[in-house]
Structure 1
Amino acid sequence: MNLQQLRYATEIEKTGSITKAAKNLYMGQPNLSKSIKELEQELGVTIFERTTKGVKPTRIGLEFLSYAHTILAQMEELESLYKPRSEKDFSFSISVPRATYLTAAFTDFLTEYVGDGPIDVHFRETSSMAAIQDVASGSSQLGIIRSENIHERYFLNFLSNMHLECKPIWEFQMCLLMSKNHPLASCNEIVYHMLDGYIEIAHGDFQVPSLTAADLSETAKNMGSKRRISIYERGSQYDLLKRLPGTYMWVSPIPCSILQENGLVLKECAVGAVSKDLLITRTGHIFTKEEQAFLNTVRRFTENNPFQVGHTR
């Protein structure tokens, strides 16, 4: 077994076809089929089974491919770390939750550290489960996931099974974000029942790895709102909050300068969930100077706490 065979197998998994995989790999189909057959014989397992629509991994094949992705991602990371680089090269990739404080920190980080040399930067806002898959597959070197404290153990178990490490970045209470013209914006204190009848704006791809029936019931009870608009792009949330009367969102604390720019306010609510943002990496990950600089910038944001909750100006 060699790395080339692992690349062959993952390409077949991606395309679902030996013919398409061979084309993408610039090789003949017979040679690809022969290589996979030799790999299966060496391992003593069947990785792929033929279907009317092509090929798909067997149960044990899925397990093998999970390890193959991890090995290939680690090899790519080694090559990236030790290949010759100019001091001016700038490389960075991360998958994060849709959090304004992170995008603000990311902007400050780029402003401070990007020079005039080559850059290769990937910043993806996505769900926690997608961020985990990005890091596990190597498409992102770093990830940040968000978990309510009541769900944290499920994420920790899932990360352990995926051979990923994590450490907390910030723990906070979720706040209500709304227009300064919202009927509740002038209230000194908001309790949960006061939100009845108003429209919640929510990100539509929230996922928890595995919940029991009791946990699902508790989660459903806490989610509450019977009037909800689910969105998948963070860019539209501020426009909806400003222009659609009576809308609100549950969010992490937002820098006060951004609130003022958008005519929004943050309000505390007695039942706001306590949440935690966690940094995730592959096991044994070695941080680059760019990654460490970004994390330092995030730390400055959370420690200096440039946030404003409860004010209407």
Structure 2
Amino acid sequence: MRIQQLEYLEKIAATGSINEAAKQLFISQPSLSQSMKELEKEYQIQLFYRSKAGITLTDAGREFMNYSRGVLDQVNLLNQHFGQGTIRKRVFSVSAQHYAFVVHAFVDLVKQIGGDTYQFTLRETQTENVLDDIQTLKSELGVIYINAFNKTVMKRLITEKDLEFTPLFDVQPHVFVGRDNPLTAKSHITLADLKDYPYLSYEQGDTNSFYFSEEILSTLPHKKHILISDRATIFNLMVGLNGYTISSGIISSELNDEKIVAIPLDVDDTITLGYLRHKKIELSATAQLYLEMLKQHIRGYGFEVQ
């Protein structure tokens, strides 16, 4: 086994493609494939499932990857301490539904430990993608919500994918609207108050399951409904069209438009926000630090971390 092979393995797992990994590593695809076959032969395991859709790690591959990252981290420490060889980029990735506190913590992480060489990834993405990213190790951590409606389905999927969900904090549902929306005159909002306003929700791809919705009460009918793919657009439509969405109530004046207001929604429901990790993978020091920063921001909004 060579250190270079472990670096190749990490790149393949990150890209999900032998061809793309070869391009980024500046080697030929046959050379990369042969190197991985030699690694599999040496340890008598199958590291990947290979299909037309790409490359995914097997269960044995995920476990091997866990040890491999530990070895690469130790090599990196040696290079930093003794000044020999190329210092490995610090690598970290998190996938999440669309939450400001996730971005806040990510910004702090990069500022604190990024240094001169790093490759960090923040994926604000569809709910199913968050689960898949953690399962396939594209990300170490994922941030999603669970409530009474989606709990059974989400927990089944989490178990099937060998993941673990850890609650962070509970919030009551809030309606997000533009500051000039007439609804801002109310201290609380009912569902009846919302019927004439455009409902904004994040699209969930081809699956489009109600259980994957980032907004509670996703099965309710709406006269006006606009699907959005990103957080900047949803805020623009709140202001431009007097649209609304339902979320946690956390708004960041540092990262989000200050024209947005959160108003409590009168429904009997609780949103539990938490993080996902893979059961078989130990979290890296970077992931653990990110979690601490995430918790700090949550406490900063006045919530008690579970």
TM-score by length of 2: 0.70
The structure with more radius of gyration: 1
Structure 2: how far apart are the matches of 1:221 and 1:126? 18
What code does the residue aligned with 1:26 have?
P
Q: What residue number does 2:163 align with?
A: 164
Aligned pair 1:231/2:223, yes or no?
Answer: no
Per-residue deviation, 1:101: 2.1
Q: What residue number does 2:286 align with?
A: 290
What code does the residue aligned with 1:106 have?
F
SS in 2 for 1:303: helix
Q: Extract unaligned runs of 5+ from structure 2.
A: 19-26, 82-86
Structure 2: how far apart are the matches of 1:288 and 1:176? 36
Assess if the C-alpha contact under 8 Å between 1:202 and 1:231 holds in 2.
yes
Aligned pair 1:92/2:92, yes or no?
Answer: yes
Structure 1: how far apart are the matches of 2:209 and 2:195? 29
Aligned pair 1:26/2:30, yes or no?
Answer: yes
What code does the residue aligned with 1:301 have?
H
Structure 2: how far apart are the matches of 1:68 and 1:115? 31
Gap change, CA 1:287 and 1:203, over 3 Å in 2: same
5 Å matches for 1:8-157?
A: 25-26=29-30, 66-67=58-59, 70-71=62-63, 73-74=65-66, 76-85=68-77, 86=80, 90-111=90-111, 113-114=112-113, 116-157=115-156
Give the alignment partner of residue 304 of structure 1, picking from 294, 300, 303.
300
What code does the residue aligned with 2:274 have?
L
Per-residue deviation, 1:160: 1.6
What code does the residue aligned with 2:227 have?
S
Structure 1: how far apart are the matches of 2:120 and 2:166? 23
Structure 2: how far apart are the matches of 1:225 and 1:128? 21
Assess if the C-alpha contact under 8 Å between 1:155 and 1:208 holds in 2.
no
Aligned pair 1:253/2:249, yes or no?
Answer: yes
Identity %: 16
Structure 2: how far apart are the matches of 1:259 and 1:65? 35
Per-residue deviation, 1:210: 9.7
Assess if the C-alpha contact under 8 Å between 1:204 and 1:230 holds in 2.
yes
Gap change, CA 1:291 and 1:28, over 3 Å in 2: closer
Gap change, CA 1:293 and 1:200, over 3 Å in 2: same
What code does the residue aligned with 1:176 have?
V
What code does the residue aligned with 2:93 have?
S
Q: What residue number does 1:190 align with?
A: 189
Per-residue deviation, 1:84: 2.8
Structure 1: how far apart are the matches of 2:210 and 2:189? 32
Q: What residue number does 1:204 align with?
A: 203
Q: What residue number does 2:259 align with?
A: 263
Gap change, CA 1:204 and 1:24, over 3 Å in 2: farther
Gap change, CA 1:221 and 1:116, over 3 Å in 2: closer
Assess if the C-alpha contact under 8 Å between 1:178 and 1:248 holds in 2.
yes
Structure 2: how far apart are the matches of 1:166 and 1:154? 13
Give the alignment partner of residue 240 of structure 2, picking from 225, 243, 266.
243
Assess if the C-alpha contact under 8 Å between 1:200 and 1:228 holds in 2.
yes
What code does the residue aligned with 1:247 have?
G
Gap change, CA 1:304 and 1:27, over 3 Å in 2: closer
The Cα RMSD (Å) is 4.1
CA deviation map 1:42-83 (0-9, x unaligned):
99xxx99xxxxxx769xxxx9x97546645644554444444
Per-residue deviation, 1:108: 3.0
Gap change, CA 1:263 and 1:132, over 3 Å in 2: same
Structure 2: how far apart are the matches of 1:116 and 1:84? 14
What code does the residue aligned with 1:92 have?
F
Assess if the C-alpha contact under 8 Å between 1:151 and 1:208 holds in 2.
no
CA deviation map 1:141-162 (0-9, x unaligned):
1112222232123222212221
What is the number of equivalent residue pairs in this alignment?
266
